[in-house]
Amino acid sequence: MSPVDQSRNHVGRAATVALVGVVVLGLALGLVTLALGGRNSSDLNIGDQTFQAGSAQDKAELIARSGPIIYADVSGRKDRDMILQHTGTNPAKGWHAFLAAPIDKARDCTWEWQADEELFRAKCDPELTAPADGKGLPQFQVKVIDGQLDVDLNADARAAASSTSTTSTTGD
């Protein structure tokens, strides 16, 4: 007889330990999903919240020569094509960014710059116009930081999320 008694039923114990591990992992993933599932996407910091458009000086010169710049939306939503416009002569001021298509129009019905009239006309309806600064259209906040353009694509979503999440209750 061996001085070390041979283990019995070690396969059953290993299977039990593995099963418990899988159950605990599943519960942990379920709790994480539950915790993040109700959050607004603007609360999740995945990727950049802003679009870096480059040098304010360079873009101002380009827009003065060639007109406003249109940027296609590269997100999965494909509904935020944007026009970057500069008005005035100071590259640190006069920046505007707004949706590239009129509200309730197809994505390919973009605003087209009419330099001689200093306004935009809708590609699908020339009677539909917008001012040079896009006033009245959905806007994106533009800042010049250290000479670089920073377009905040999600400022409205963050503002809406913070206003709905700051509700408080008082007890008697």
The pLDDT of residue 133: 96
158/115 same-domain check: yes
| Rounded-to-integer distance, Cα 143 and Cα 49, Å | 13
Averages of pLDDT over runs of 10 residues in the chain (172 residues) are 63 80 83 66 56 93 95 78 94 95 91 96 95 94 95 73 51 45
In the DSSP assignment, the letter for residue 157 is H
- Return the CATH number at 140: 2.102.10.10
pLDDT at site 28? 80
State whether 65 and 150 are in the same domain.
yes
Q: What is the pLDDT of residue 170?
A: 45
pLDDT at 20: 86
Structural domain harbouring 25: 11-46
Q: Structural domain tally of the chain?
A: 2
User: 169 lies in a domain?
Assistant: no
Judgement on whether residues 111 and 39 belong to the same structural domain of the protein:
no
Strand order in the sheet with 119-122: 111-114, 119-122, 125-131
Q: What is the pLDDT of residue 93?
A: 96
The Cβ of residue 67 has, within 10 Å, a number of other Cβ atoms equal to 15
Q: Are residues 32 and 88 in the same domain?
A: no
Are 113 and 137 in a shared domain?
yes
Count helices and strands (H / E) in the chain.
Answer: 3, 9
Asked whether residue 40 falls in the same domain as residue 102, the answer is no
Q: Do 85 and 157 belong to one domain?
A: yes
Task: Tell the residue number behind the tokens 């200093």, with chain if given.
Answer: 118
pLDDT of residue 63: 96
pTM value is: 0.65
Q: What pLDDT was estimated at residue 169?
A: 45
Instruction: Say yes or no: 70 and 92 in one domain.
Output: yes
Same domain, 153 and 110: yes
DSSP secondary structure of 11-29: HHHHHHHHHHHHHHHHHHH
For residues 110 and 84, membership in a common domain is answered with: yes
Residue 21 shares a structural domain with residue 104: no
Provide the pLDDT for residue 42: 46
Q: Are 138 and 99 in contact, with CB atoms under 8 Å apart? A: yes
Return the residue matching tokens 């591990």: 21
Instruction: Find the angle CA(100)-CA(122)-CA(109) to the nearest 5 degrees.
Output: 60
Whether the Cβ atoms of residue 50 and residue 152 lie closer than 8 Å to each other: yes
Residue 95: predicted pLDDT: 97
